[in-house]
Structure 1
Amino acid sequence: MPKFVCYHCIYCCFFRDPIECPVLFPWEKRVIEDLLEDGETNTSFEPLEVWRDSKGVCIVTLYRWVIRGFCPFYDIVMRRCKIHEMKPLACQMFPLLVEVPSGKVMISSKCLWTKKNQKLLKELRRPEVIAHVFPSEFTAAVTVLQQYNSILEAVREEKLVRVNDFSSCKLFVDVDSYMVGDYGWRERRKEEGEEGDKTLL
């Protein structure tokens, strides 16, 4: 059975519709922000999944990295990613897509390799086959699911409430910052006399 080979086409790094754009964890978003050049105008970050605590603080668990046109880190001439070793998990696992929290794995139709291997796609209903055909991509997808489930467990423990209307949020805090800052678990646990810190990963 063949293994996935990247053809270095442009389709995974060019975006017309925001819904196609990568979904990032907050810590990934901050890495990308640090790597972006000053004055970069074709990219932005929008909260995608937000929760609210009892104090009214809005906690962001996922961002959508909105890219208009080519990704700013895509080398059009060389057809390579300029930050390959540091790119987000959403990029690492492509053409695999993970639906959270269900864990359903899908395959993007944008990928040229998948278009040329349509017959093989029927065999990819079994996880072990997906792991064989897309070894590194599947590993990245599993990591995404593990990290998301870890976040979800912490969110449930804190009894946070899902926010659908972001306009009601006056303050956004990244979930990992929330956990170690004045807003969340660590401070509350100190008040309750509990020892140790809760970590996501």
Structure 2
Amino acid sequence: MWLWGFAMPKFVCSHCIYCCFFRDPIECPVLFPWEKRSIEDLLGEEVNTTFKPLEVWRDSKGTCVVTLYRWIIKGFCPFYDIFTRGCRIHEIKPLACQMFPLLIEVPSGRVMISSKCLWTKKNLGLLKELNTPEAIARTFPLEFSAAITVLQQYTSILEAVREERLVRVNDFSSCKLLVDVDSYMVGDHG
């Protein structure tokens, strides 16, 4: 894509630390339940990991269903290799990590570009012109593909939640049972 005589650059990770270092929980990755379980399996019991239910729905029987978790990381991600400046699980890392520096606001589907990324800071002037999905996809092809997958999976989850007539809750302390959405949908909830 050409913009005012300049070729729009394609995103190339500069292997800075900023996508994998977390100071504030709001910066931490948002995972689907199956991604959370995969991370727990990969880390095993030797690493203390915290996942906070981020989006919870309740059925008429008091069972609460988690659709999204926030993976609370303090400092570097446990999979970040500080010597190679890379991810030790790059091929299987969560979608939130695959799509970075793209961010998705759910449920609206609004796509944003993170200002934590050094590459985006360096190309900010050109990135302001990315006002179509096609332009974003050309600049961030792999990341955009991961973002589309997130939106498709999230949309599918929302459709199932609505079909089950679940109600969104902010406080899940009164829940009789807390289950992941994929387990709930196959009837694995007591």
- Give the structure-1-normalised TM-score: 0.88
Q: Aligned to 1:48, which of 26, 48, 54?
A: 54
Q: Aligned to 1:25, which of 28, 32, 35?
A: 32
Structure with the bigger RCO (C-alpha within 8 Å, sep 6+) is 2
Structure-2 change in CA distance of 1:155 and 1:75 (3 Å): same
Q: Indicate whether 1:75 and 2:81 are aligned.
A: yes
Q: Which runs of 4+ in 1 moved over 4 A?
A: none
1:72 partner SS: coil
Q: Aligned to 1:8, which of 15, 18, 21?
A: 15
Opposite residue 20 of structure 1, the aligned amino acid is: E
Unaligned segments of structure 2, at least 5 residues: 1-7
- Structure 2: how far apart are the matches of 1:91 and 1:182? 29
- Name which of structure 1's ranges 163-172 and 131-140 shifts more when overlaid on structure 2: 163-172
- Structure 1: how far apart are the matches of 2:97 and 2:26? 14
Q: Aligned to 2:95, which of 76, 89, 94?
A: 89
Structure-2 change in CA distance of 1:127 and 1:169 (3 Å): same
The aligned length equals: 183
- Structure 2: how far apart are the matches of 1:28 and 1:180? 17
Partner in structure 1 of residue 114 of structure 2? 108
Q: What is the root-mean-square deviation in Å for CA atoms of aligned residues? A: 1.1
Partner in structure 2 of residue 189 of structure 1? none
CA offsets, 1:100-131, max 9 Å, x none?
Answer: 11110000000000000011111112111000
Opposite residue 120 of structure 2, the aligned amino acid is: T
Deviation at 1:10, TM superposition (A): 0.3
Deviation at 1:57, TM superposition (A): 0.3
Unaligned segments of structure 1, at least 5 residues: 185-201
Q: Indicate whether 1:122 and 2:134 are aligned.
A: no
Deviation at 1:51, TM superposition (A): 0.3
- Structure 2: how far apart are the matches of 1:48 and 1:138? 23
Opposite residue 118 of structure 2, the aligned amino acid is: L
1:168 partner SS: coil
More helix, by proportion: 1
Q: Indicate whether 1:60 and 2:56 are aligned.
A: no
- Give the structure-2-normalised TM-score: 0.93
Percent identity between the two aligned chains: 81
